[in-house]
Amino acid sequence: MIERGGLERLLAAHPQVRRLRVAFSGGLDSSVLLHWLQGLALSGYMLDAVHVDHGWRAESADWARHCVRAAAALGVDCQVIAVNGRPAPGESPEAAARSARYAALAATLDAGSALLCAQHADDQAETLLLQLLRGAGPKGLAGMAADAALGAGRLWRPLLETPRARLRAYAEQQGLLWLEDPANADPAYERSWLRQEIMPRLAVRYPALTRTLGRSARLCAQAAAAEEALAAADLAPLREGDTLRVDGLLALPAARRDAAVRGWLLERSLPLPSAAQLGALPELLTAGDDRAPCLRWPGAQLQRYRGRLHAFAPLPALAAGSVIVWPEPAQPLCLPDGSRLELRPVHGAGIAAARLHGQPLTVRYRRDGERFHPAGRRHAQTLKKLLQEAGIAPWLRSRLPLLMAGEQLVAVAGLGIACDWTAAADAAGYALAWQSQAASATMPRFV
């Protein structure tokens, strides 16, 4: 008997959800979930399934066909999505497959849809132990959430409090046919090793193992939620644009400071540092500006400048001396670092449209010795000095696009327009818009 309580709580909490989409691998757990949901005949809800083909094995296509047939036998449509689940260097196969799978599944959801996954109580217990062995904190030890956002929709796990044995009993009673993934019995995979070698031994000594570990996961989830709420409160007075005030961070106790920075990084969709990497944060916050303090880890970096902490993904290298031709100024120009320039029509401001018309435009980056006379200044100065005075962060100074008309410097993105290229008060002009993830929100986007 599978209890409906978990599903009913999810349905009640999200009345906007009308489509239930089952993540259908064809294994025992998802076969039970799909069969059970179809048997409930929920009024007012659409039920369908989606199978992700990771392309790992020659039989992947056979598995996809099995899922389509099994779903059709229940009167349920099943969509098959192929993904590349092969791991990158240094990435575990499980993590690579999971990332690819959830990215593909998220893309199928809208605001009225929920993806239902068949993870159960034993899976939750294994997850908690794996996270514990990896040294996770409360958020990791919370395991899998029964309800979470995924893409534009929701991710639900209605069987999270149901033990594996109950699902197997249901499958056998209903005469279901399912696929057995060889990886589930391969001890080369962490979870399989834990399931085959460790969990049975623990269960002999602790018969209520699955239930008690599930309770621990729920308690850790509560602790993680409390930590996140405190971190959000701590962050509020520290924010300046998309940076944080260093003095405010230093005033926080270490544990709260670390939690605030982790929360801030998650907001920015950046990977989190390890505990050891985050342990170097105080040194970063207190180092002299002349040391260009920086803290890096795969996928992200922190930099401090003029009392503010910045976070961003690693910046791609720029080819020395590169010149980018802007053939159609009426269209945005995509630059090699992923940023974008655009000329937007304005009146009485920006770059003089009359002067710009017909000029061959190019974009390049700083070289040594450029001089620039921006509008509003009495005379030209070195670009280096102007960037320092404007408070442009050192790691951005070599990345600011310089708009050139022939050999004349027209404008510097994020800084200003040359005085002899500025539109008159009664004339048409163009604002130069620069969109870049690397640039701070406190930097001008238009000049």
Secondary structure element (H or E) that encloses residue 221, with its range: helix 209-235
Residue 162 DSSP SS3: coil
d(CA 38, CA 215): 29
Say if residues 299 and 315 touch (Cβ distance below 8 Å).
Answer: no
274 labeled binding residue:
no
d(CA 174, CA 38): 13
Query: What single string gives the DSSP state of each residue in 313-376?
Result: PPPPP--TT-EEEES-TTS-EE-TTS-EEEEEEEESSSEEHHHHTT--EEEE---TT-EE-BTT
337 labeled binding residue:
no
Per DSSP, 414 falls in state T
d(CA 392, CA 415): 9
63: left (phi over 0), alpha (psi -120 to 50) or beta: alpha
Say if residues 433 and 446 touch (Cβ distance below 8 Å).
Answer: yes
d(CA 330, CA 353): 12
Residue 418 DSSP SS3: strand
Say if residues 344 and 390 touch (Cβ distance below 8 Å).
Answer: no
192 labeled binding residue:
no
26 labeled binding residue:
yes
368 labeled binding residue:
no
d(CA 170, CA 158): 15
CB-based burial of residue 161 (10 Å sphere; 0-12 exposed, 13-18 middle, 19+ buried)?
middle
Say if residues 382 and 370 touch (Cβ distance below 8 Å).
Answer: yes
30 labeled binding residue:
yes
Nearest CA-CA partner of 140 in 221, 256, 257, 260: 221
Residue 289 DSSP SS3: helix
Which residue positions form the known binding site for ATP?
A: 25-30
Which residue positions form the known binding site?
A: 25-30
